[in-house]
Amino acid sequence: MTTPEVRIDEAGTTGVRPLLEIRDLAITFKTGGGDVQAVRNAHLSIMPGETVAIVGESGSGKSTTALAAIGLLPNNGRVSGGQILLDGEDIAHASEQRMIELRGNTIGMVPQDPMSNLNPVWKIGYQVRETLRANGRPSGPEDIARVLSEAGLPDAKRRANQYPHEFSGGMRQRALIAIGLSCQPRLLIADEPTSALDVTVQRQILDHLDTMTTDLGTSVLLITHDLGLAAERADKVVVMYQGRVVEAGPSLELLRNPQHPYTRRLVESAPSLASRRIQAAKEQGVETADLLAPAAETAVADNVLQIQDLRKVYKLRQGFGKATDFAAVDGVSFDVQRGTTTAIVGESGSGKSTVAKMVLQLEKPTDGRILFDGVDTSLLKSQELFKFRRRVQPIFQDPYGSLDPMYNIFRTIEEPLRVHKIGNQASREKKVRELLDQVALPQSAMQRYPNELSGGQRQRVAIARALALDPEVIICDEAVSALDVLVQAQVLNLLADLQANLGLTYLFITHDLAVVRQIADHVCVMEKGRLVETGSTDDVFESPRQEYTKALLNAIPGAKLMLPPEVA
């Protein structure tokens, strides 16, 4: 496919030369199975002081394109065609010496994951200093402190003497931004700079990055999977799909009037732009639709789970034998109605996952009660607990970590049946086939292993495994957070369908308010172990009462973008 219309702002419109221009770029990876073209015919240009976002899902080639611009392709990758023009100089095949000159000074980078991008064995100050020194800039303690405080790190002088593990994720990302901008580069490559952070922190960091790059006149190449974020932060958006640039243009225009089918799907399923709960499943069956209407309309509330004044206190060691109490969950009460979805939202450290663990009986509450069908779960004996586990099943966040790589898919899904001694070999196999049908996986997947499946397929396997025992309640702990937008939308639809067909109850733990909007009937907002707001999803989203909830809602990227209703 050719993409004649994707060139944006060819030099000449204003007589200014683009700072970075990528022409016909092709990147090839050498793999065990031969050469793979990861990027082909990519075009983009960034004017001085402009912010351009590349949007795409994992594997679309967006990061690869950006890494090529700073000469950091992995060892098995190379530029196999086209040009990367930095201020007119083709750096696609520049010498390593030339690239070392450019890096830091002319092209800076803010990487994706703040947890793994700082070397754990060196102090923060050292990691800033070596950057300044390598680029021939003054690198005294004052300079280091200045660079760090400009990136919004409070108490920078003292902080410079700390190690990365003593920093929170947000602080680490500030340190990485400080490093990326310390030598005032003309181009900053920001590769998903905030995707590992909470929404409110994400917002602060992006705001700060905006201010800094505007003040310095830095051009920014922003890589993101989040269309809402791209539209909010960038002047222009470039959409990549399977190694190609499929569409490019000014952000709002592209969002309002997407041309390419892929962009259209992306806009439709962007959770940050969605505004309604997934209704498709409920509208399918005319009869069942009434039964499954939000439980608020049913006369008697049928609470399958009742959480009463739940507390979990951990002892934090302080050295010298002292310990202080830390309440991870502090007096949380809420009910979950049968056949509905209740979401617990909060940032990292809010205690939402601890609640999930206690409901699953993986952690013992310090105080308070969890009633399941009216029975206090803390009083269950081991036999009853075993039966309880049949009725309450989890789906975890990371489909890469939660499936045993040595088990094939059949064994993975069959295992709970075998553990609970349900049926014989033949009936179990039949059940596994049914489950695969339910989650829309081909039956041929049975003999495959997790590493042969994509992230979305793995999460389907995890769902099938959770469904194997015909549970009543499913606890989804960040079950879609690790998935690409389109896959996320598919999985959420699947969960909604299953709820409609099987009458399942979901307790949905997530940090992502956009997902809550799509799937939940009720929301509980948690902050620092406490429940700050509860209510129906519509109420909470339309008229949040607490400041914290408002802050969370405002921090959703793209929340304030105005889109025509047929798109949103």
Regarding 179 and contact with other proteins (CB under 8 A), the answer is yes
Distance CA 250, CA 493 (A): 31
Regarding 103 and contact with other proteins (CB under 8 A), the answer is yes
Q: Which of 28, 487, 44 is nearest to 245 (CA)?
A: 44
Distance CA 287, CA 189 (A): 53
Distance CA 457, CA 98 (A): 43
Regarding 130 and contact with other proteins (CB under 8 A), the answer is yes
User: Which range touches other proteins (CB under 8 A), out of 107-115, 238-246, 356-364, 470-478?
Assistant: 107-115
User: Which range touches other proteins (CB under 8 A), out of 1-9, 101-109, 224-232, 265-273?
Assistant: 101-109
Pick from 28, 63, 135, 139 the residue near other proteins by CB under 8 A: 135
Regarding 118 and contact with other proteins (CB under 8 A), the answer is yes
- Give the pairing of strands 505-510 and 341-345: parallel
Distance CA 43, CA 279 (A): 39
Segment 53 to 72, residues that bind other proteins, using CB under 8 A? 70, 72
Regarding 117 and contact with other proteins (CB under 8 A), the answer is yes
- Cα Dmax for the chain: 78
Q: Which of 204, 194, 274 is nearest to 514 (CA)?
A: 274
Pick from 116, 378, 447, 554 the residue near other proteins by CB under 8 A: 116
Regarding 183 and contact with other proteins (CB under 8 A), the answer is yes
Regarding 96 and contact with other proteins (CB under 8 A), the answer is yes
Regarding 105 and contact with other proteins (CB under 8 A), the answer is yes
User: Which range touches other proteins (CB under 8 A), out of 131-139, 282-290, 360-368, 438-446?
Assistant: 131-139
Shorter beta-carbon distance to other proteins: residue 122 or 386: 122
Asked whether 355 and 527 are in contact (CB, 8 A), the reply is no
Question: How many angstroms separate the Cα of 75 from the Cα of each of 28, 31, 71, 187?
Answer: 11, 11, 11, 24
- The answer for residues whose C-beta is within 8 angstroms of residue 42's C-beta and 6 or more apart is 22, 24, 25, 26, 61, 65, 82, 240, 243, 244, 245
Pick from 145, 176, 273, 513 the residue near other proteins by CB under 8 A: 176
Backbone angles phi, psi at 477, to 5 degrees: -95, 100
In terms of C-beta density within 10 A (0-12 exposed, 13-18 middle, 19 or more buried), how is residue 533 classed? buried
Q: Which of 497, 534, 532, 498 is nearest to 516 (CA)?
A: 534
Regarding 151 and contact with other proteins (CB under 8 A), the answer is no
Pick from 111, 152, 249, 558 the residue near other proteins by CB under 8 A: 111
Shorter beta-carbon distance to other proteins: residue 117 or 457: 117
Distance CA 96, CA 100 (A): 6
User: Which range touches other proteins (CB under 8 A), out of 2-10, 112-120, 297-305, 542-550?
Assistant: 112-120
Shorter beta-carbon distance to other proteins: residue 54 or 176: 176
Tell me, residue by residue from 280 to 319, as one string, x for binding to other proteins by CB under 8 A and - for no binding: -------------------------------------x-x
Regarding 31 and contact with other proteins (CB under 8 A), the answer is no
Shorter beta-carbon distance to other proteins: residue 179 or 482: 179
Tell me, residue by residue from 229 to 268, as one string, x for binding to other proteins by CB under 8 A and - for no binding: ----------------------------------------
Distance CA 72, CA 205 (A): 25
Beta strands in 177-267 (DSSP E): 187-191, 219-224, 236-241, 244-250
User: Which range touches other proteins (CB under 8 A), out of 39-47, 143-151, 173-181, 343-351?
Assistant: 173-181
Distance CA 129, CA 149 (A): 14
Regarding 120 and contact with other proteins (CB under 8 A), the answer is yes
Binding site for other proteins (CB under 8 A): 70, 72, 74, 96, 100-105, 108-109, 111-113, 116-122, 130-131, 134-135, 163, 165, 176, 179-180, 183, 317, 319-320
